[in-house]
Amino acid sequence: MSTCTNTLVVFHFQFIKWRIHPKVNKYHTEWLLVTSDIETFEEFLLSRAKVLMGEYFKIKKKIQKGIRYHCASEDEYAVEFTLLHGRQDDRLTVVDDCFLISDKLLGSYSHYFFDQGMIFITEEGAIRPLVGMEYEVLKTSENNVLVWPSEKYTKSDINVFRWPGGKHYYAKVGNVEVISLDGQSKWSDVKEAERQASLFLRRINKKV
């Protein structure tokens, strides 16, 4: 999942144990983003919007090129499903599609957050409806970037790349998009992309 750039925001995570079903003595544990303030929630929405719109434009490019494909991720499937079942007119513009994705996919977070006052979110972007349920917090963690506290990354996880025919270099640490402190995510020089990736690596491995 993409990271946010506002260093004033601190993301709070809890490693939670919860009962899968009230009548079944089975439990599940996972790290969840726990958001109860509007600033952190807006930063999460910004990050989520970037991911979903990235999937939208990937789908659009494949369609324009006449490429047959299978959805490569749950996010890609969610966007494709929304477009297939939400569009009333094939002549709708990109702006119309963006409003549709925002309403159907991002809107669910807002409805839940403002209704419940807080929200639990998985690393995959799913909402865990734990508000009002019994659960146990086993561990807590904080970070100033939106990266789930599951592992420490190393330099071997850095990937600097450039799209075919593109002029700019991009970078990832694992599956996390590299974004500099000033909000940049692409660079004209490969060495600068590598340098930013190294700085970003230190940030996401550092607990606030």
**How distant, in Å, are the alpha carbons of 93, 140, 197, 198 from that of 208?**
42, 12, 19, 18
pLDDT value for 4: 45
Can you give the pTM of this predicted structure?
A: 0.61
Q: Number of C-alpha atoms within 13 angstroms, CB side, residue 18?
A: 17
Model pLDDT, residue 70: 54
Instruction: Give residue 5's pLDDT.
Output: 45
pLDDT for 2: 42
Distance of CA 12 to the CA centre of its chain: 15
The partner residues of 120 in beta bridges, in order of sequence, read 34, 128
Residue 6: CB atoms within 10 Å: 15
Mean pLDDT by 10 residues, the chain (208 residues): 56 88 78 93 89 77 60 64 60 69 81 92 89 86 83 82 88 80 86 92 69
Distance CA 99, CA 82 (A): 11
Non-local (6+) Cβ contacts of 49 within 8 A are: 102, 106
pLDDT of the residue at 168: 92
Crossing angle for the helix pair 107-116 and 38-64, nearest 10 degrees?
Answer: 160
What's the pLDDT score for residue 191? 94
- What is the pLDDT, as a whole number, of residue 190? 94
